[in-house]
Chains A and B, each alone.
Chain A
């Protein structure tokens, strides 16, 4: 591991001053960054520890949504009564990730920015376009069982591993940040960049930006939401496919639906096509399957990740069917 400086900061201007160094990284829980530093994938010269910043609150917004600070731990997010009441799929998504120990350490900001678990990315002896632009993508011809089926490119087929982000995508979260030039915000739909031929550029955050928090707009439909994750063992493993779903049904018709998929793309995949064909139509398993098929028609599979299409489709049908049945009760 490269030697590095360590700076603990207590206010945002100090954080930005130290974070301006292009070789600096903000340190949240360190559960991804320290891991990547140990394996030589990231080699910062300075860590700016943000855990003491006053960004650890969850508060109601004036519009009736929630504002969640960037240093709120994953555990506190999932345990918060208003999160569990108004956005249950978000609590479930966070609880489905990592372990109790890691969730106690991990922060909201760090979770958003965690890097892919692609085995070539995390092995610094391998080529990888994301780690070394232009070096190639060995996953396409190699190990890609858990790689993308949507929105990938010939330059990178990695998936974003965050469970939390999938629920945030379904609920139209907005990411707030500060820079030396002032504050800014990015809707989650614009936060993660398309892969294209620049897989090393992952987010639209300006360089040196400090994430200060996220806001969730009010979403009554989210009160009836859930998150389901499929993985290769029962717990403590990354998703091979996941879905966040929310449904509002009246008299057998879909009034509003939210769907986002995880572990299928370089970012949480909001299934807008599926939502569009479902809205106003019948809330039946058949319609749910058709909607999933419409969204997944764009899937481009590789030899070993074909299974994800059926996996996500089946999850969508099962979850929406359950939500519709509960609404009818």
Chain B
């Protein structure tokens, strides 16, 4: 059977709908960068191994290089361009600025999208591989530096800015907890 290998899709990005024709092979990452001119999301490895392309899909972090654009139709896509509240930076963005959570900045959009989700996952009580006792009776683990490092391990930083990234995530988590 011959299948149609392209189609017109509608992507909802940062609350805005975009209708565009795509070849089915197009990843969400390429659709964002090359078609919608949203170049904040970065391409590192293009194989799911570095986290530079992290975006939020229905509020959950995902790597956009392994996500086909056509399969993202109908989902709420949030990129780094959409995380701030107008001119007011997201607390995670502010913390990365305050604490120099980057050097070259290439991994930063992915780090920030990931960190936003990490803080939410932790608040929802999700354990991680750094959690000593995953049983619900043990209660949610405190967001220690070890927990942050493990939860952020899907985002590589070629510049090695990890020390300040961990501090920035901790500060943002505190700020949000206080808010």
Contact = CB atoms under 8 A, between A and B. Distances in A.
10 contacts: A4-B3, A5-B3, A78-B127, A79-B126, A85-B135, A95-B128, A95-B134, A99-B51, A99-B153, A236-B154
B125 interface: yes
Identify the 5 closest CB pairs spanning chains A and B, nearest first: A5-B3, A99-B154, A235-B153, A3-B5, A236-B153
A27 interface: yes
B123 to A, nearest CB: 12
Nearest to A96: B129
B121 interface: yes
B126 A92 contact: no
Interface in B115-132: 117-118, 121, 124-129, 131
B78 interface: no
Contacts of A98: 154
B15 interface: no
A84 B67 CA distance: 28
Contacts of B27: 34
Contact of A5 (B24, B54, B135): B24
A99 B133 CA distance: 19
A41 to B, nearest CB: 12
A5 B1 CA distance: 10
B5 A30 contact: no
B134 A91 contact: yes
B48 A102 contact: yes
A38 interface: yes
B7 A104 contact: no
A87 to B, nearest CB: 10
A201 B3 CA distance: 27
A30 to B, nearest CB: 6
Contacts of A7: 3
B90 interface: no
Contacts of A29: 66
B129 A3 contact: no
Contacts of B149: 234-235
A104 B121 CA distance: 11
A21 interface: yes
Interface string B76-99: 000000000000000000000000
A88 B5 contact: no
Nearest to B150: A235
Interface in A1-47: 1, 3-8, 21, 27, 29-31, 34-35, 38-39, 45-47
B3 A92 contact: no
Contacts of B24: 3-6, 47
B25 interface: yes
B166 to A, nearest CB: 13
B151 interface: yes
A35 B71 contact: no
Contact of B66 (A81, A84, A105): A105
Given A35-B47, A88-B134, A102 B68 contact: no
Interface in B39-53: 46-48, 51
B114 interface: yes
Interface in B136-171: 136-137, 149-151, 153-155
B48 to A, nearest CB: 6
Contacts of B134: 78, 84, 88, 91-92, 95
Contact of A49 (B62, B71, B128): B71
Given A6-B7, A30-B68, A34-B27, A104 B136 contact: no
B136 A100 contact: no
Contacts of A84: 127, 134-136
A320 B26 CA distance: 48
A1 B3 contact: no
B3 A45 contact: yes
A179 interface: no
A35 B50 CA distance: 13
Contacts of B61: 100-101, 104
Given A4-B3, A92-B129, A100-B61, 13 more contacts: A3-B25, A6-B24, A6-B70, A34-B27, A46-B3, A47-B68, A49-B71, A88-B134, A95-B127, A98-B154, A100-B118, A104-B117, A234-B149
A38 B48 CA distance: 11
A104 to B, nearest CB: 4
Contacts of A4: 3, 5, 24-25
A27, A38, A49 pick with most chain B CB within 10 angstroms: A38
A166 B60 CA distance: 26
Contacts of A6: 3, 7, 24, 68, 70-71
A31 B117 CA distance: 19
B23 interface: yes
